[in-house]
Amino acid sequence: MKKYWMKSCLAAAVLCTALLSGTGEARAAAPYAANKTVSKKVVKELKKKVTAIVKAEVDTKDSKKTKLKKLFKYVVYTKKDKTGKTVKENYGYQSNYTYSVDKETKGFEKKYALDMIKQKKGSCFEFAALYAFLAKTATGYPVRMAVGTTNGFGNEGQRHSWTEVKIGKTWYICDTNLQKYGGKPALTYYLKSRAKMKKTYENFRGEDNEGVFYIDIAY
């Protein structure tokens, strides 16, 4: 299966636009490096850190949906001054294309989630991976990380990753990165059914019309 690579010149332009506007996700500027096997140490550290965040941000008496909302707000939290400048946030933007992201590569979601917790900055992949593990740990719901495309940042066919949570028989989209940088009102991209978000995610056709691919979240 071919890798999802981007032409560096186009990626550089998108990245500059994203960083200057503060409202977009950029494409990769270079091919992804190959993954190494995810060690038990990485998994253990990730689980420990995620569990600690969940314990700090939600109450054991909260309903599962309340936990999902609190953790969503925790990930996207941003405080700005009167000029619109960010003065405080839990997680910020940084293009960290370190690991392969494709159907054959296993474990990248764990590495991205752990990197986000440690660095406090990341791309859509880190945002999606972190929220996915937080949601899974807090609720036990089936959770998956999706990799496809979006026009939510104003760029048609832009490569993107988000989180989906299954409640009952329905999968719901929770897109922390698009919420934080897409310029829409709070909770626009929180717990929305896939059926209502087809336009934003370009009918889920994925990059090169190969379809969205999913990674089921588990330690």
Q: From residue 76, how far is each of 7, 21, 160 by CA, in Å?
A: 29, 17, 16
In terms of Cβ atoms closer than 10 Å to its own Cβ (0-12, 13-18, 19+), residue 67 is buried
For the segment 50-92, what is each residue's pLDDT rounded down to a tens digit? 999 999 999 999 999 999 999 999 999 998 888 988 889 999 9
Q: Which pLDDT score is estimated for 99?
A: 59
Q: What's the mean pLDDT when you consider all of the chain?
A: 84
Tell me the residue ranges of DSSP E strands in 154-201: 158-167, 170-174, 192-193
Span 33-54, pLDDT tens digits: 444 568 899 999 999 999 999 9
What's the pLDDT score for residue 207? 87
- What is the percent of the chain with per-residue pLDDT over 70, rounded to a whole number? 81
CB atoms within 10 A of CB 138: 23
CA distances from 55 to 66, 95, 115, 117, 139 (A): 14, 28, 20, 15, 12
Cα 193 from Cα 175, distance rounded (Å): 12
Put residue 218 in one of left, alpha, beta given phi > 0 → left and psi -120 to 50 → alpha: beta
Interaxial angle between packed helices 40-57 and 108-119, expressed in degrees from 0 to 180 and rounded to the nearest 10: 50
Residue 86, pLDDT score: 86
Return the pLDDT at 54.
Answer: 98
Whole-model pTM: value is 0.83
**Which of these, 175, 97, 87, lies nearest to 130 by C-alpha position?**
175
Structural domains in the chain, sorted by start: 8-216 (3.10.620)
* Residue 92 CA from chain centroid, whole number: 12
Provide the 10 A C-beta neighbour count for residue 180. 24
In this predicted model, what pLDDT tens digit does every residue of 161-204 receive, in sequence order? 999 999 999 999 999 999 999 989 999 999 999 999 999 999 99
Residue for token digits 């896939």?
Answer: 194
| Percent of the chain at pLDDT exceeding 90 | 68
Residue 114 · residue 129 · CB < 8 Å: no
pLDDT at 16 over 60: no
